[in-house]
Chain A
Amino acid sequence: MDNQFFVDSAYLSPEALAKKHRLEQDPFYRKNHMEYLPGMEIIQSDVCENVMAQMHAYDASQYTAADVKAALAHETCTIEDFKALLSPAAEPFLEQMAQRARLETSKHFGNTVYLFTPLYIANYCENYCVYCGFNCYNHIKRMKLSMEQIEKEMKVIANSGMEEILILTGESRGQSDVAYIGEACKMARKYFRMVGLEIYPVNTDEYKYLHECGADYVTVFQETYDTDKYEQLHLLGHKRVWPYRFDAQERALRGGMRGVAFSALLGLSDFRKDALASALHVYYLQRKYPHAEMSLSCPRLRPIINNDQINPLDVGEKQLCQVLCAYRIFLPFVGITVSSRESAEFRNGIVKIAATKVSAGVSTGIGDHESKYTGKENADVQGDEQFEIDDNRSLDKMYRDISEEGLQPVLNDYLYV
C-alpha cells in the first residue's frame, strides 16, 4: 500500500514504535476488520448487502455519453442513471448537470443555505487511522474540555448568533464516554436550537440516551466503502470494525434520532465507487426509514499535522462538483453539507448548485473559540487541530456573503419535539 501515510513521531517509545511498524507491515498482526468486537451491537439489516452489491457491480468505464444524456433527460433519476452521472463519461456534461442540479435544489430547498458550526470537545483517540491527524500514534496536544470549558466555548459561539452546533470528539470511548457526550448535549440544548453529533459509533440504546440528552442528528463518515482499502488504512482500535460503522446511522434512527448524515472521505479509494456507495447508503436507508432526514457531506483529504505530504490529487474540484451534482439529481431531497475544508470560492459556487448547508466560524482545534472569535489568547487550554481549514469566514462574513450571492442564509429551521 501507499506508505506515504506512515509517519513516525519522535516521541514514541521503542515498544510503541515496534508495534506501530508491525501493524503497518504485517496484515496478520491486525485484527479482522469485518469482525465485531465485544459489546458492539449487531442489527439485522439488508441495507449493507444492497449497497455493496451495487458498488461491486459498478464499472464506471462502461458508461457512455449516450447514457449520460439519457440520465439527464429522465424526469426521475434511477440508480443506473446515477451511475452514468458519476462516470467519466459525464465529465463533459458538467455544466448541464449543474443546471439540472440547481433546478432540483431550488425545487426542494428554494434559495436557502443553512449555517452551522462544529465544536470539538475532545481529541483523544484510540485508533490508528493512518491518514488522520488525531490518530493515536501522532504526537499532538491532547485535550478534553471540562463542562465549564464547554459552556464557555458554547457561550462564545452562541453570542456570534449561531443556532446549530455539531459536537465532535475524537474516537475514544475511554476518554470521552457516552455520559460525557450526553452532558455536553444537555449543555448545548441551553444555547442552541439544533444539536448534532459526530462521534464514534455507538449502540442503539446509547443513541437513544444521547437523543434524550438533546441531540437529534448523527453524522458518521464511513471513510471508504472499499473494505479492503479500509483494512489497510484503519489498523488499530474499534474504528477498524467496518460493519459496525456501516450500521451506525440505522442504529441512530432506531434510537430515535431525527436525521443522519453520511460520507466517504473521497480520495481514500476509487472516489466514484465511494460516492455511489455513499448515496446508495442514503437511498436504501431512506426507503426503510422514510421519515428520517438524510444528508451527505463530501470531505476530501486535507494536509494534517505531522504529515503534510498527503495531498491526494485524484479528486479535483471539477470531479467533486460532478459528484455533488450527481448526488443532487439522484437524491433531490437530501441535504448536502460542504465543510470549510473547501475554499470560499468553491463554497460560494456550490451553494448555488447543490449544497444546502455550510459551516462558518470554524475551528477544528479544542478550546480555542474564544481566542479565534475574540482574539483573546489562552494558549494553555488549547488542543491541536484535526486538519487545516481553507475557508476561515466568520458567521457574520458568511451570512453577508451568502446574502450578497442572492441566497438566503438560515440559522435555524428546526424544533426539538
Chain B
Amino acid sequence: MNNDKLILGGHEFNSRFILGSGKYSMKLIEAAIQDAGAEIITLAVRRANTKEQESILDYIPEGITLLPNTSGARNAEEAVRIARLARELGCGNFVKIEIMRDSKYLLPDNQETVKATEILAKEGFVVMPYMYPDLNVARDLVNAGAACVMPLASPIGSNKGLATKEFIQILIDEIDLPVIVDAGIGRPSQACEAMEMGAAAIMANTALATAGDLPMMASAFRQAIEAGRKAYLSGLGRVLTRGASASDPLTGFLRD
C-alpha cells in the first residue's frame, strides 16, 4: 500500500480524496485536509477572483495542490481563458475543465471539453477534464493529452451515488489514465464502491459540505476510500451471480 500512489501529470499523491469546489468554506477545507487527508483542493477561479477578506488562496496550507476549475465557462474558448487566468493568479499548472451549457443540471459538455483539453495540454497544463462517462469521448481526451478523466457518478450536488456505474466501469477497464469519479457521490459507501471498482480517486464536495458533523464525515470518506482501494488492490472475491456453485463439478466425469 505504501507505494500505491495516485499519479497525475507526473506528480505523486498519497491521498485519493479530492475536495470539489461547489460549496466551499474555510471549515470545509480544513476538514478535507485534516480529516479526509486531501492533498488536492479544487478552487473555482470565479470565486478566487475576489477582493474578499476571506480569499481561499490565503487558506491553502503548504504542500496542498490547488486545482483551479473553469466553472462558469460555457464553451472551450471561455474555459481556456479561465485556465490562463488561473495560471496568472498563481494557481499553478493544474486545471480541472468544467464546461457547462446547462444551468439546470450543470451537465458537462463533452465536445467542448475535448477541444479545451487539447489546447491546454499543449500549453503545459495538467488537464483534468470533468465529463459525462462516454468511452469514445474518454479516448479522445486521452489523445488530447488529459492527465486523467473525471466521469460524473450522477448529477452534481445530487448525492445520488453511482447512477452511471456501468459506464464508469467501462472507462476503468478501457482507459489507461486514472479515472477519478466526480460529482454525485453522496455517501462514504458510494465512494468505497467506486474505489472497489478501480476508480483512482474520488472527488466530492456537497456530501461533506452538507454533513451535520463535517470533520467526522470527512474522516468517514477517508476510511471508505482507503477500504475500497485496499479491496480493489487485493482482488475482490468472486461474486456468484447465478445460483450456488455446484460442489460436484459438471466436468467431473472427464477422465484425462
B103 x A417 contact (CB < 8 A):
no
Do A415 and B103 contact each other (CB < 8 Å), given the known contacts A110-B22, A111-B25?
A: no
B47 x A410 contact (CB < 8 A):
yes
Complex Cα gap A283–B36 (Å): 39
Q: Considering the complex, which residues of chain B in the window 19-52 have a beta carbon less than 8 Å from any beta carbon of chain A?
A: 22-25, 44-47, 49-52
Complex Cα gap A292–B24 (Å): 23
A106 x B47 contact (CB < 8 A):
no
B45 x A286 contact (CB < 8 A):
no
B103 x A293 contact (CB < 8 A):
yes
A291 x B210 contact (CB < 8 A):
no
Complex Cα gap A163–B72 (Å): 17
A286: nearest chain-B partner, CB-CB: B104
A107 x B159 contact (CB < 8 A):
yes
Q: Considering the complex, which residues of chain B in the window 63-96 have a beta carbon less than 8 Å from any beta carbon of chain A?
A: 72-74, 78, 81-82, 85
Indicate whether A413 reaches chain B with its CB closer than 8 angstroms: yes
B46 x A413 contact (CB < 8 A):
yes
Which label, helix, strand, loop or mixed, suits the secondary structure of the B interface? loop
Chain A residues near B25: list those with CB within 8 A.
110-111, 408
A163 x B50 contact (CB < 8 A):
yes
Total interface residues in chain B, CB < 8 Å: 33
A109 x B81 contact (CB < 8 A):
no
B52 x A111 contact (CB < 8 A):
no
A412 x B52 contact (CB < 8 A):
yes
Q: Which of A110, A292, A411 contacts B50 (CB 8 A)?
A: A411
A106: nearest chain-B partner, CB-CB: B210
0/1 interface trace, chain B 121-142, chain A, CB 8 Å (1 if under): 0000000000000000000000
Complex Cα gap A293–B73 (Å): 12
A290 x B52 contact (CB < 8 A):
no
A193 x B23 contact (CB < 8 A):
no
A413 x B47 contact (CB < 8 A):
yes
Chain A: minimal CB distance from B207 (Å): 11
B47 x A412 contact (CB < 8 A):
yes
Most chain B CB neighbours (cut-off 10 Å) among A110, A111, A193, A290:
A110
Complex Cα gap A411–B106 (Å): 22
A290 x B23 contact (CB < 8 A):
no
Q: Which of B44, B52, B81, B157 contacts A417 (CB 8 A)?
A: B81
Indicate whether A349 reaches chain B with its CB closer than 8 angstroms: no
Indicate whether A414 reaches chain B with its CB closer than 8 angstroms: yes
Indicate whether A112 reaches chain B with its CB closer than 8 angstroms: yes
Which label, helix, strand, loop or mixed, suits the secondary structure of the A interface? loop
Chain A residues near B45: list those with CB within 8 A.
415
Indicate whether A312 reaches chain B with its CB closer than 8 angstroms: no
Q: Which of A112, A163, A293 contacts B52 (CB 8 A)?
A: A163
Chain A residues near B47: list those with CB within 8 A.
410, 412-413
A415 x B102 contact (CB < 8 A):
no
Complex Cα gap A292–B100 (Å): 10
B209: nearest chain-A partner, CB-CB: A110
Complex Cα gap A414–B82 (Å): 11
Q: Considering the complex, which residues of chain A in the window 102-120 have a beta carbon less than 8 Å from any beta carbon of chain B?
A: 106-112
Do A294 and B103 contact each other (CB < 8 Å), given the known contacts A107-B159, A413-B46?
A: yes
Do A290 and B103 contact each other (CB < 8 Å), given the known contacts A107-B158, A110-B209, A415-B82?
A: yes
Chain B residues near A412: list those with CB within 8 A.
46-47, 49-52
Chain B: minimal CB distance from A336 (Å): 14
Chain B residues near A411: list those with CB within 8 A.
50-52
A112 x B23 contact (CB < 8 A):
yes
Chain B residues near A414: list those with CB within 8 A.
46, 49, 72
B22 x A292 contact (CB < 8 A):
no
Complex Cα gap A112–B23 (Å): 8
Chain A: minimal CB distance from B215 (Å): 16
Complex Cα gap A291–B102 (Å): 4
Complex Cα gap A214–B72 (Å): 16
A289: nearest chain-B partner, CB-CB: B103
Q: Which of A111, A163, A286, A333 contacts B23 (CB 8 A)?
A: A111
Complex Cα gap A333–B100 (Å): 14
Most chain A CB neighbours (cut-off 10 Å) among B24, B52, B78, B105:
B52
Chain A: minimal CB distance from B116 (Å): 12
B80: nearest chain-A partner, CB-CB: A417
Chain B residues near A408: list those with CB within 8 A.
25
A411: nearest chain-B partner, CB-CB: B52
Chain A: minimal CB distance from B240 (Å): 34
Chain A residues near B5: list those with CB within 8 A.
none
Chain A residues near B110: list those with CB within 8 A.
none
Chain B: minimal CB distance from A361 (Å): 15
Complex Cα gap A378–B73 (Å): 43
Indicate whether A161 reaches chain B with its CB closer than 8 angstroms: yes
Chain B: minimal CB distance from A100 (Å): 15
Chain A residues near B23: list those with CB within 8 A.
109-112
Complex Cα gap A294–B103 (Å): 8
Residues in chain B within 8 A of chain A (CB atoms): 22-25, 44-47, 49-53, 72-74, 78, 81-82, 85, 100-106, 157-159, 206, 209-210
Instruction: Enumerate the 9 nearest inter-chain pairs by beta-carbon distance, A residue then B residue, closest first.
Output: A110-B23, A417-B78, A415-B46, A412-B50, A291-B101, A290-B102, A411-B52, A333-B104, A107-B157
A selection of 11 A-B contacts at a CB cut-off of 8 Å is: A107-B206, A108-B157, A110-B24, A286-B103, A291-B100, A333-B105, A410-B52, A412-B46, A412-B49, A412-B50, A413-B44
